[in-house]
Amino acid sequence: MNEIYKSYKDRVDFYLVYIREAHPSDGWQVRANLDDKLEYLEPRTEDERAKLAGVCMIDLGFEMPMLLDNMDNEVDLKYAALPERLYVLDADGRVAFRGIMGSRGFDVETWHDGVQKQAALSAAQAAE
């Protein structure tokens, strides 16, 4: 994802949105998180969510900017994002690409195709 971001960041706005924790230790936990010692409580405040988002950015090495969903989970609910999902929005905020929900649908190459198409469309519209 970082390479795609670096390639297109001058033509496309990129944002990660940190939503509610998919597998909190005080909720539904998965074996892989336990094995990797990735155990985090579900944040109860925006400050707690922001701290956990920072941990996520550092641990996963994300370079693109990250936004924080509010505690009402508006982005998560609007985009059916939990546990993770890739999107491309056009200049008007409409969905141009919607990845499949969940880790099995987290297909960076298909998302990259969506980014390429949107960048080309935006460039063509700007040239008109």
For the residues 36-40, what does the mean pLDDT come to? 68
For the residues 56-73, what does the mean pLDDT come to? 94
Name the more confident of 40 and 54: 54
Cis check: omega of the bond before 83, within 30 degrees of 0: yes
CB-CB contact of 102 with 81 (8 Å) = no
The pLDDT assigned to 27 comes to: 62
The pLDDT assigned to 43 comes to: 87
Say if strands 66-68 and 95-98 run parallel, antiparallel, or are unpaired: unpaired
Q: For residue 96, which phi and psi values (nearest 5 degrees)?
A: -100, -25
The pLDDT assigned to 33 comes to: 61
pLDDT at 106 over 60: yes
Q: What is the fold, at CATH topology level, of the domain defined by 2-127?
A: Glutaredoxin (3.40.30)
